[in-house]
């Protein structure tokens, strides 16, 4: 990677200067869905993470019901 050129501590972004970044942020907030790939993956990971304990409880309950049904004559 080469050295950065320019004045230290000063940077320029044409996306921020044109207002594209703020427009994307507003759209994303209104939709409730991140526009970046990493943001979508992070949101999906949070949703799946909270469902895993619920699925484990449901699976355990189902297994116990099946076990009890096999004991009946």
For the stretch 14-27, pLDDT in tens is 878 888 888 888 98
Q: Where are the domains of the chain?
A: 16-71
The DSSP result for 26-70, as a single string, is HHHHHHTS-SSHHHHHHHHHHHHHHHHHHHHHHHHHHHHHHHHHH
Report the percentage of the chain scoring pLDDT > 70. Answer: 90
**Is pLDDT of 58 > 60?**
yes
Q: HSE of 73 in the Cβ direction (CA atoms, 13 Å)?
A: 0
- Give pTM, 2 decimals: 0.45
């Amino acid at each position: 990677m080469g050295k950065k050129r320019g004045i230290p501590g000063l940077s320029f972004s044409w996306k921020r200067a044109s207002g594209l970044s703020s427009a994307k942020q507003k759209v994303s907030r209104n939709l409730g869905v991140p526009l970046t790939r990493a943001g979508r993956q992070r949101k999906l990971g949070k949703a799946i993470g909270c469902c895993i304990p619920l699925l484990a409880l449901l699976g355990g309950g189902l297994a116990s019901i099946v076990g009890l049904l096999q004991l009946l004559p």
